[in-house]
Structure 1
Amino acid sequence: MSTGTDRDTARRALITTAVAVVCAVTVLAAPGTAFASPAPTPAPTATPSAPSASAAPVSNKDLEAVRSKLDALYHDASVATDAYNAAEEQSKKQSAEIVELAKKIVKGQEKLDELKDRAGAAARSQYRTGGMPDEAQLLLSDNPQAFLDGTGRVLQGQRATKGLIAELTRTQQDLKQYTADASAQWQQLEKNRQAKASAKKKITAQIAAAEKLESQLEKQEKERLARLEQQAALKAQTAWLDSGALKGVGDKATTAGKAAVAYATAQLGKPYEWGAEGPSTYDCSGLTSQAWASAGDPIPRTSQEQWKQLPHVAVKDMRPGDLIIYFDDASHVAMYIGDGAIIHAPRPGRTVTVAGAGSMPILGVVRPDA
């Protein structure tokens, strides 16, 4: 019969094993990792017994390890989501360009057919005149004056023929270029399809690993984990506020900024879903891009492109509607709404919510309506 100590030890071993398994998943899902056939996993010397209601709860230290690993998993999923969204946007752009190139090819072919018909008509006309030089036609003409009157038209016809040949050549060259461009776009479209598939695979792997790790916890431990997350966010927010980051920051938004904030506020409580742009679910950049699109100022789809392309402003100069970019890799974005708060779509399993602007590491601030 197992003792309480045995059960506690088994319980801690279960959580430790779960963290180790998730670490392995993280490594395998990392970009550039070579996938070799895994070696057989040694059988455990003892199978931990299922924790009973009387088992001691997991220590705060173990829960902190779980929280840290969950943060890493969801962060990696967020990076992969940005890669997926970027590939999706490029695919849309390339598909539209392929359609336009196809239209140009059709029009070019129609023009080429018309030019060939005109060239054929000119050749047939020349054949009917016998192809004789102008001097011979003058000598053999029954009406030399009429022939001389028509020489101007002959010269015009010669110039027109040269122009026809030049136009025919240009059209053929254009068609060749359109075809080459369409082929290149198709190849890039396929690359983006593969990039999307790779990013999707990584996203699902990271989220599944996080969910598996969380599933090892009992209800009370999940509640404690949630409190630890809240405490960590509050600690970071307090430190940020104490640093004087908000000193001099105003709460006056532009008309467009107010509209963007109103849109984001209306989405509170809606679930996070990676790759989503609403109206029922959102990921972080899906929320911010749609909010600003509704305000009449379209912005890039991903947090990384928002960071790259939008004007940067200092934290002390930010105003409601500005976007705060988080983490060194610009993998998360939120909308500043004033009073040190943000609205954002945090991660899988969460909903669009209000949080402290300093609760995550800030990379910088960008302004869509600069």
Structure 2
Amino acid sequence: MGRGKRGLLAMAVTVVCAATVLGAPGTAFASPTRTPTPVGTPSPTSTPPPATRVPTPAPKPGKDLEAVRERLDALYHDAAVATDAYNAAEEKAEKQSAEIVALAKKIVRGRERLDELKDRAGAAARSQYRTGGLPDEAHLMLSDNPQAFLDGAGRVQQGQRATKGLLAELTRTQQDLEQYSTDASAQWQKMESNRKTKAEAQKRIEKQIAAAEKLESQLEKKEKERLAQLEKEAADKAQTAWLDSGAIEEVGGTSTEQGEKAVEFATAQIGKPYVWGAEGPDSYDCSGLTSQAWAAAGHGIPRTSQEQWRQLPHVDVKDMRPGDLIIYFDDASHVAMYIGDGNMVHAPRPGRTVTIAGAGSMPILGVVRPDA
């Protein structure tokens, strides 16, 4: 077996193995709840820039619960940003894995076709050897039969065309195999890069969540109850300010059939725990909930909140209808589903469950419509 053949077969084996090992299902992405503040209706932009945050100093439990709340919001927000990066890397890796498998199959089929063409070329060479090594043209010129000469001339022309076609197909097949190998190698490198991105993002997520859980664990029972009350008061204050601003006075759009199905699915998940990277059925993160809700409605959407914001059509807040997705924070790190009457359903953050909340209880970046 020649060096080229060994290399191509090795590549086929390599990419199939890579797809098998790296195509294993992973997890997905999440989003937290930060300090709620009243907002208006911002102008939708394309891809939000990465958030630049000044780290909030860790407060001492029992001294300033408001500072504790702000610190927790910051930690969970940073965990959500890292989760988005994790999910995006995972989604890319899954696509690259599928592409590698497809390329591997092309390499195998191309290899088989190349072997077949080489067998045909070898058969032609052996046939010529059996006739004394003379080409068909020479035998034709030595013929003294006029009719045989004319019949032979036609066969020679057909043979020449067939030979040219065979050589051209051999060349094309070899070139295709080389290109498939190059493409598979490139996809492998991209998938390796995304694996590293996922691993780094996972470390950041776990670090931020661990810090938040440690901070909460240091609180006394009464402090935890008071902290929960502070969170609720902040959310209620933001929601009231948002409603009083008249942001949804004109909202009254009727949902589509698909939108109703998406809302029905999302609200049926109420009470299930938030788990970063989860897409159900037992737990969800924020974009896992919205993407699965729309998948259940028969309409696939991007997996992460940032890609939902970037790829889905934007609509004004005043035009939103049940089923639309509300994107929160300037970095699009959280997403919820609007269900009507100024409310939304979402998976808030670690330690919380899927719940209904005021649509204006967090800073709104904009609204997108999956079924526009």
For Structure 1 versus Structure 2, the TM-score category normalised by the shorter chain is 0.7 to 0.9
Tell me which residue corresponds to 1:175: 177
Question: For the Cα contact (< 8 Å) 2:128–2:135, is it kept in 1?
Answer: no
Tell me which residue corresponds to 2:207: 205
Tell me which residue corresponds to 1:16: none
Residue 241 of structure 1 aligns to which amino acid in structure 2? Answer: L
Tell me which residue corresponds to 2:18: none
> Cα offset for 1:140?
3.2
- TM-score under structure 2 normalisation? 0.82
Residue 246 of structure 1 aligns to which amino acid in structure 2? Answer: I
Residue 267 of structure 1 aligns to which amino acid in structure 2? Answer: Q
Q: Could you give the per-residue CA deviations for residues 158-212 of structure 1, whole angstroms, max 9, x where no partner exists?
A: 1100010000000000000001111111111111111110010000000000000
Tell me which residue corresponds to 1:127: 129
Three-state SS of the structure 2 residue aligned to 1:118 is helix
Q: Which among 251, 256, 259 is matched to residue 257 of structure 1? A: 259
> Cα offset for 1:91?
1.0
Q: Which among 354, 357, 366 is matched to residue 355 of structure 1? A: 357
Which stretches in structure 1 are left out of the alignment for 5+ residues? 1-29, 33-56
CA distance in 1, matches of 2:65, 2:217: 13
Three-state SS of the structure 2 residue aligned to 1:343 is strand
Identity across aligned pairs (percent)?
Answer: 80
Tell me which residue corresponds to 2:241: 239
> Cα offset for 1:247?
1.2
Q: Which among 137, 140, 144 is matched to residue 139 of structure 2? A: 137
Residues 1:133 and 1:176: Cα distance change in structure 2 (over 3 Å): closer
Question: For the Cα contact (< 8 Å) 2:107–2:177, is it kept in 1?
Answer: yes
**Structure 1 residue ranges, 4+ long, deviating more than 4 angstroms after superposition:** 133-136
CA distance in 2, matches of 1:134, 1:93: 53
Three-state SS of the structure 2 residue aligned to 1:354 is strand
> Cα offset for 1:139?
5.0
Question: For the Cα contact (< 8 Å) 1:251–1:339, is it kept in 2?
Answer: no
1:185 equivalent in alignment to 2:175: no
1:17-96 counterparts in 2 under 5 A? 58-59=62-63, 62-96=64-98
Question: For the Cα contact (< 8 Å) 1:138–1:144, is it kept in 2?
Answer: no
CA distance in 1, matches of 2:115, 2:337: 56
Question: For the Cα contact (< 8 Å) 2:140–2:153, is it kept in 1?
Answer: no
Residue 270 of structure 1 aligns to which amino acid in structure 2? Answer: K
Three-state SS of the structure 1 residue aligned to 2:231 is helix
> Cα offset for 1:251?
4.8
Residues 1:282 and 1:68: Cα distance change in structure 2 (over 3 Å): same
Three-state SS of the structure 1 residue aligned to 2:281 is coil
CA RMSD after TM alignment:
1.9
CA distance in 2, matches of 1:133, 1:280: 74
Tell me which residue corresponds to 2:23: none
Question: For the Cα contact (< 8 Å) 1:293–1:299, is it kept in 2?
Answer: yes
Three-state SS of the structure 2 residue aligned to 1:150 is helix
Residue 239 of structure 1 aligns to which amino acid in structure 2? Answer: A
> Cα offset for 1:31?
11
Residue 349 of structure 1 aligns to which amino acid in structure 2? Answer: G
> Cα offset for 1:135?
6.4
Residues 1:135 and 1:116: Cα distance change in structure 2 (over 3 Å): closer
Residue 312 of structure 2 aligns to which amino acid in structure 1? Answer: L
Which structure ranks higher in relative contact order (CA pairs < 8 Å, sequence separation ≥ 6)? 2
CA distance in 1, matches of 2:104, 2:138: 49
Residues 1:273 and 1:136: Cα distance change in structure 2 (over 3 Å): closer
CA distance in 1, matches of 2:303, 2:206: 21
Tell me which residue corresponds to 2:294: 292
Q: Could you give the per-residue CA deviations for residues 117-166 of structure 1, whole angstroms, max 9, x where no partner exists?
A: 01111122223334446664345336453233121011100110001000
- TM-score under structure 1 normalisation? 0.82
Question: For the Cα contact (< 8 Å) 1:249–1:318, is it kept in 2?
Answer: yes
Residues 1:147 and 1:247: Cα distance change in structure 2 (over 3 Å): same
Tell me which residue corresponds to 1:304: 306
Three-state SS of the structure 1 residue aligned to 2:273 is coil
Question: For the Cα contact (< 8 Å) 2:345–2:354, is it kept in 1?
Answer: yes
1:225 equivalent in alignment to 2:227: yes
Question: For the Cα contact (< 8 Å) 2:253–2:319, is it kept in 1?
Answer: no
Residue 196 of structure 2 aligns to which amino acid in structure 1? Answer: Q
Q: Could you give the per-residue CA deviations for residues 275-295 of structure 1, whole angstroms, max 9, x where no partner exists?
A: 000000000000000000000
Residue 175 of structure 1 aligns to which amino acid in structure 2? Answer: L
Q: Could you give the per-residue CA deviations for residues 338-359 of structure 1, whole angstroms, max 9, x where no partner exists?
A: 0000000000000000000000
Three-state SS of the structure 1 residue aligned to 2:300 is coil
